[in-house]
A = this chain, B = another copy of it.
């Protein structure tokens, strides 16, 4: 249990923590713009020096593009080890004219700090630094071993991270990994994310005749690749919204009763969602609630389609080619390799003579399911209760988070803690990104508590 003095110290220093965060937010560390490379580097140095100042061993590691900051504070080989992941780079701020205050001149209004990176991820990452500063200042040592990996390429897809993890695997060995790069379930309703969906993303290309044909002269003679593509796509799903690929659901682990009750209790506001999306009906796989469908059930969506003439007016052709991007969201224990194969076999079986088919696998991710009753998860739950004054809910997310897949695959920790301190309306990636100062403060308290809860776990 965390000593009272540490929480008091965090409460006392609340204003100073915010001021320091503003300094971090002033650095325009936009990783995708090469003309900001020096700023990105400056942000890495800022993190490095801050970590050293609070008592960590820290270093800068070069990659092909933006550096990684690696740091540690180790107490004992037998103590549990927590690896903290964060990123110091940010999204571009455009469109600039929509910002009420400039993106890199942080402004405090209505209990929030407004700046690019306030929530994603500088503000959330900084909760870890301030929590550990307070623990070290009061107790002299951390209660467990802590390692930090802070990268500068998250917003461009973490292209260097996989290789980096392989090369630093020993140095990064840990029992659990903590990531705070998302949000609470709702503002003031903290959440632990215990599952992510996986992904198969493929491109289907069809070729009919060698060139576009006059539909008057040739209509009735050849298979039309757009028509065949439509038949294939229609065949991939049933009209009531299930995926029709044979074997697709074979490895799906059903939701357990407790999960369904948990999800049911969270009450998705369907009317507000319909209003937001501009649709008159939420549709999907029968037998599951919208909340279950968007987080815990696999889906198939066409992401794009093309072929033939799409200009103004009429052009009477039979197109030579057509194509589509199709992706599937996977849930445990579906395997991308197997789903890719089932997809490919099924699409081939639906392709008639007269059409050449090519399928390209573009992207994949394995679904993630973290054991909800693991001791580390329970420790995180207690820590959040201390930090936020409220027991967190446990949620699944419909998205994939590539870095989580990399950690699972390359570091194989016992548990991964996805602890979002932000709010769903923080506007990450949008103009006027913000971070509630209350969330910042509660996050710091929760992190400090987590170190002590993990010690006993």
B301→A398 contact, CB < 8 A: no
A216→B229 contact, CB < 8 A: no
A403 to B: closest C-beta gap in Å: 15
CB contact under 8 A between A224 and B301, given known A354-B282, A363-B314: yes
**Which residues of A in the span 260-318 have a Cβ within 8 Å of any Cβ on B?**
273, 277-285, 288, 290, 293-295, 297, 299, 301-310, 313-318
Report which of B223, B277, B295, B329 forms a contact with A213, defined as CB distance below 8 A.
Answer: B277
Instruction: Give every chain B residue within 8 A of A305 (Cβ-Cβ).
Output: 226, 229-230, 305-308, 310, 322
A439 to B262, CA, bound (A): 84
Instruction: Give every chain B residue within 8 A of A394 (Cβ-Cβ).
Output: none
B215→A226 contact, CB < 8 A: no
A233→B226 contact, CB < 8 A: yes
Cβ of A159 under 8 Å from chain B? no
**Which residues of A in the span 194-225 have a Cβ within 8 Å of any Cβ on B?**
197, 199, 201, 208-211, 213-224
Cβ of A335 under 8 Å from chain B? no
18 contacts between A and B (CB under 8 A): A209-B277, A210-B277, A210-B279, A215-B299, A215-B303, A216-B329, A220-B284, A221-B293, A226-B304, A230-B233, A230-B305, A231-B234, A239-B352, A280-B353, A302-B308, A303-B314, A303-B318, A304-B319
Cβ of A127 under 8 Å from chain B? no
Cβ of A324 under 8 Å from chain B? yes
B303→A317 contact, CB < 8 A: yes
B303→A315 contact, CB < 8 A: yes
Instruction: Give every chain B residue within 8 A of A213 (Cβ-Cβ).
Output: 277
Instruction: Give every chain B residue within 8 A of A215 (Cβ-Cβ).
Output: 299, 301, 303, 327, 329
A159 to B300, CA, bound (A): 47
Cβ of A2 under 8 Å from chain B? no
- Which of A220, A233, A301, A318 counts the most B-chain CB atoms under 10 A from its CB? A220
A219→B314 contact, CB < 8 A: no
Cβ of A227 under 8 Å from chain B? yes
Instruction: Give every chain B residue within 8 A of A234 (Cβ-Cβ).
Output: 227, 230-231, 233-235
A203 to B: closest C-beta gap in Å: 8
Cβ of A325 under 8 Å from chain B? yes
Cβ of A237 under 8 Å from chain B? yes
A402 to B: closest C-beta gap in Å: 11
Cβ of A387 under 8 Å from chain B? no
B301→A227 contact, CB < 8 A: yes
Closest to A296 in B: B220
Cβ of A362 under 8 Å from chain B? yes
A239 to B324, CA, bound (A): 20
- Which of A230, A231, A239, A279 counts the most B-chain CB atoms under 10 A from its CB? A230
A252 to B: closest C-beta gap in Å: 13
A290 to B: closest C-beta gap in Å: 5
Cβ of A184 under 8 Å from chain B? no
B230→A314 contact, CB < 8 A: no
A353 to B208, CA, bound (A): 33
A363 to B399, CA, bound (A): 44
A204 to B: closest C-beta gap in Å: 11
A312 to B: closest C-beta gap in Å: 9
A304→B310 contact, CB < 8 A: yes
A34 to B264, CA, bound (A): 68
Cβ of A117 under 8 Å from chain B? no
A278 to B: closest C-beta gap in Å: 3
Cβ of A323 under 8 Å from chain B? yes
Report which of B197, B231, B310 forms a contact with A216, defined as CB distance below 8 A.
Answer: B197
Cβ of A400 under 8 Å from chain B? yes
B283→A217 contact, CB < 8 A: no
Instruction: Give every chain B residue within 8 A of A399 (Cβ-Cβ).
Output: 214, 216-217
A335 to B329, CA, bound (A): 46
B325→A309 contact, CB < 8 A: yes
Instruction: Give every chain B residue within 8 A of A285 (Cβ-Cβ).
Output: 220
**Which residues of A in the span 333-361 have a Cβ within 8 Å of any Cβ on B?**
352-354
A219→B316 contact, CB < 8 A: no
Report which of B297, B302, B316 forms a contact with A230, defined as CB distance below 8 A.
Answer: B302
Closest to A276 in B: B210
B221→A284 contact, CB < 8 A: yes
A286 to B295, CA, bound (A): 46
A327→B316 contact, CB < 8 A: yes
Closest to A325 in B: B309
